[in-house]
Amino acid sequence: MGMSILNEQDYYRIVYGGWLGKNIGGTLGAPVEGKKELLDLTFYPELPDGPLENDDLDLQLVWLHALEQYGPGLTARELGKEWMEHVFFPFDEYGYALSNLRRGLIPPVAGSFNNPFADCMGSPIRSEIWAMTAPGAPERAAYYAYQDAIVDHAGGEGVYGEMFFAAIESAVFFETDRDRLIEIGMCYIPADCRTAKALRDLIRWHQEGQSWTEARELILEHHGSDNFTDAPQNIAFTILGWLYGENFEDAILKAVNCGYDTDCTAATLAAILGMILGPEGLPDKWVKPVGDRVVVSPPIKGFPAPKNLDELTRRTIRMGKQILAAWDTDIVVLADRPTAWSDRGAQEHAVRELWDRTATANLYLLPQGTMRDADLELVIEYGAEGPAIGAGGKKLLSVKLTNRSTVPLMGALALELPEGWESSSPLRVSLQPGDSTEWEAEVQASAAPASYHELAISWTRLHDGSVWSVEKVPFTLIGASRWTVRGPAGGEGVPVDFPGNRLDWGKALGNAGTGTYRAETSMFLPSDRNIRLIAAANGPVSMKLNGETVVDCKETLEFMPAYHRAPGQQLTELRLTAGTHKIEVEAYGDADSLQVFVLPVSQRETEQPGPFYFYTDVIFGS
C-alpha cells in the first residue's frame, strides 16, 4: 500500500459535515425516542434555541477529551476513567457500566458483568469520533470503536454495531458509493452476529423490491426486540433509510419514521450522509435551525467541551493527525496538496482477533502503562459468573502469563489478599521468549460480607537469583448477593450466592417448572438515604420490605431492569435508615426463563452527581 494524501481542507469539510449531520439527525429524532409505531415526521419540532442535547454527540465530546489527554495509545481502560470522571448518565448500559467501574472493575469485564443491556445502542452511536480521527483507515477506526464499546457493551451486539459504523465512516474519506461502504462495514463484524444477519436480510429484501415499510415490518418480525434500544433492529433501520432514501431529507426521515431508537438512527445516518455530502451539500432547510452550536447535556461535565462545530472539527482533526502518524497508516494530511488515495484494499484481518476476545477476562500489559511491545502479557479470566465471590466462598481465577520480550524471564506470581482470605501458593515462573504459563489460582473469601473486595497479583522478577523488581496488578472481586430461594413446591429454602443483581432460580433449583418462585435476603445500608428499590421482572412480581408489600405487579410487562426507566409498578421510592432491612420477592414464571433484577438506586433528586445512580455500597445478604 502506497502513501495516501488527505488534503486538509477536504478533511475539514468531511468532518464538519459529519458533525453537522449528527446534530441534525439527533435533533430530529430525540423528541420521539422510544416510540415503536410507524411515525410520520416531516421536520424538526419547534427549536427556539438551536440543536437539542443528545447523548449521541455528548459522549463523543468526552472521547475527544480522552484522546487529548491520553493520545493515540488510548484504550478501553482510559475511556473507563474518563467515564467515571465526566459521564453521569444512568441510562441502561451506561448505568450498569458506571456501577462496575466505580467498584474497581475495568473493561471489558466492567462492560459485561451483570449487564443486561450489552446488545443495545449506547455504543453504535459513538462511532464518528473514531472514524474522523482515523480517516481512511477503517481497520484503525474499528479498533478504537472496539475499545470504546467494551466499556459498556462487552460481549454484546453493541460492540459490533459500533465497529460497523466506524469502518463505514472512516472509509467515506476514500469511498462514497453506498453499497461499497456497507460492504466495507460488514467486513469488520462477524458474519454470524445478529447485526450482520439483520443487515444481510435487509439488503436482500431491498433487492427483492420490498417497500421500505414492508422492510421495516420484516426487520421487526425476524430481528426485532421489545427493548426499543436493541442494536440489530436499529442498525438495520439506519441502513434502511440509506437504501430507500432518495436524498438526504428522505433518507433521514425514513430512518426516523421507523420508530424505536429514533435519535440514534437519524443521527448516525445523517452523520454518514453529512460526511459524504459535506456541509455545502446539506439542505439549508435542515442546517439553519441547528446552526453551529454544540449543546451538552448537564450530566456530561467537568471538561472543556467544544463551543461550536468549528472548534469540534479543528480539535478532531488535530487528534486525527496524531493517530495517523502514530499507527504508521501511510496517510498524511497536507494543506498544499490535493487528496490522493492509494489502493485501500480490505484490511479487516487484523481486527478479527478482537471478535474472539472474551468479555469475562481482563488483559494487562507489563510494565503497566505499556502501549506496545510489552515485556509481559497478563490475563485474568474470571469465568462465566464474572468477578463475583460470596462471603466465605471460593473463586477460581485462571491466570495466563506470556513472555512478549526477547529474553528469558524468571520470577513468581502471587496473590495479595484482603485480611482473612486464603489462596493458592505462589507460582514459580521461567519463560522463554514467546512462551506462556497458566496458573489456576483459587481464592477463598473470609466470612465478612462486603460490596466489593480489592486484591492484587504481584509479579516478582528474579535476576541472578535475587529479586530484581516487583509489580502489582490490582483487581476487584464483587461481593455476591446471598439469597434464600424456594420453588413452586415450597419446602426448605436453598441458600445461594448470585453473582449480580439477577435472581436466577434456575441456577439454584434447576428446572422446577412454572409457578411461583420466592427469594428472601437482608439488605444492609451503611447510611440513611432516599432509595429507589426496583424489582424488574418479565412476569408478575411482588416485593416486601420489612414485611410490608411495596411492589405488587400482577401484569407481565416489558422486561426493563433499567435504573431510570423500570416500570412504575415494579419499584418503590422511600427513605430508609442505616442498618439491615428484610426483602422478600415473589415472581411467577418458568425457572429457566424467569428474570428478576433487584436494584437499589438513588432517586431523581440528588446533590451530586446525577439521578438514579446505583448504590454500590449496599450489601445483599449481610
The three cell numbers of residue 186 are 460488514
Last residue of a domain, one of 447, 479, 511: 479
Q: Please report, for residues 10, 79, 592, the alpha-carbon distance to residue 95 in angstroms, rounded to integers and kept in the order given.
A: 38, 15, 26
- CA–CA dist 160, 167 (Å, integer): 11
The structural domain count of the chain equals: 3
Last residue of a domain, one of 317, 352, 387: 352
CATH of the domain at 314: 1.10.4080.10
- CA–CA dist 433, 409 (Å, integer): 8
Claim to verify: residue 184 and residue 304 sit in the same structural domain:
yes
pLDDT digits (tens, 9 = 90+) for 260-275: 999 999 999 999 999 9
Give the pLDDT band (50/70/90) at residue 349: low
Give the pLDDT band (50/70/90) at residue 48: confident
Q: Provide mean pLDDT across the span 96-121.
A: 98
Say whether 119 counts as a known binding-site residue. Answer: no
Q: Provide mean pLDDT across the span 552-563.
A: 97
pLDDT digits (tens, 9 = 90+) for 598-620: 999 999 999 888 899 999 999 99
CATH of the domain at 566: 2.60.120.380
Claim to verify: residue 29 and residue 154 sit in the same structural domain:
yes
- Closest of 418, 551, 426 to residue 479, by C-alpha: 418
Last residue of a domain, one of 352, 384, 404: 352
pLDDT digits (tens, 9 = 90+) for 515-544: 999 999 999 999 999 999 999 999 999 999
CATH of the domain at 395: 2.60.40.10
Arithmetic mean of pLDDT over the chain: 96
Residue pair 261/32 in contact (Cβ under 8 Å)? The answer is no
Q: What is the dihedral of CA 294, 298, 301, 303, to 10 degrees?
A: 20
Claim to verify: residue 466 and residue 499 sit in the same structural domain:
no
Compute CA 545 distance to the chain's CA centroid, rounded to the nearest angstrom.
33
Q: Provide mean pLDDT across the span 337-355.
A: 82
Give the pLDDT band (50/70/90) at residue 345: low
pLDDT at 348 over 80: no
- CA–CA dist 5, 121 (Å, integer): 34
Helix pair angle (178-186, 231-244), 10° resolution:
160
Give the pLDDT band (50/70/90) at residue 176: very high
pLDDT at 344 over 90: no
Spell out the SS3 assignment of 492-545: EEEEEEECCCECCHHHHHCCCCEEEEEEEEEEEECCCEEEEEEEEECCCEEEEE
Claim to verify: residue 529 and residue 444 sit in the same structural domain:
no
Claim to verify: residue 486 and residue 473 sit in the same structural domain:
no
First to last CA, the chain: 61
Claim to verify: residue 96 and residue 223 sit in the same structural domain:
yes
Claim to verify: residue 302 and residue 266 sit in the same structural domain:
yes
Claim to verify: residue 64 and residue 113 sit in the same structural domain:
yes
Claim to verify: residue 154 and residue 272 sit in the same structural domain:
yes
Q: Provide mean pLDDT across the span 89-118.
A: 98
Q: Provide mean pLDDT across the span 328-357.
A: 87
Claim to verify: residue 202 and residue 328 sit in the same structural domain:
yes
Claim to verify: residue 328 and residue 397 sit in the same structural domain:
no
The three cell numbers of residue 400 are 495466563
Q: Provide mean pLDDT across the span 356-374.
A: 92
Q: Provide mean pLDDT across the span 231-247.
A: 98
φ and ψ at residue 608, rounded to 5 degrees: -160, 160
- CA–CA dist 455, 441 (Å, integer): 13
* Residues comprising the chain, all counted: 622
pLDDT at 586 over 60: yes
Q: Provide mean pLDDT across the span 114-122.
A: 98
Say whether 263 counts as a known binding-site residue. Answer: yes
Check residue 346 and give its pLDDT: 56
pLDDT digits (tens, 9 = 90+) for 410-434: 999 999 999 999 999 999 999 999 9
Give the pLDDT band (50/70/90) at residue 64: very high
Q: What are the beta bridge partners of residue 521?
A: 583
Domain interval for residue 169: 4-352
What is the pTM for the complete model shown?
Answer: 0.97
Claim to verify: residue 310 and residue 337 sit in the same structural domain:
yes
pLDDT digits (tens, 9 = 90+) for 129-173: 999 999 999 999 999 999 999 999 999 999 999 999 999 999 999
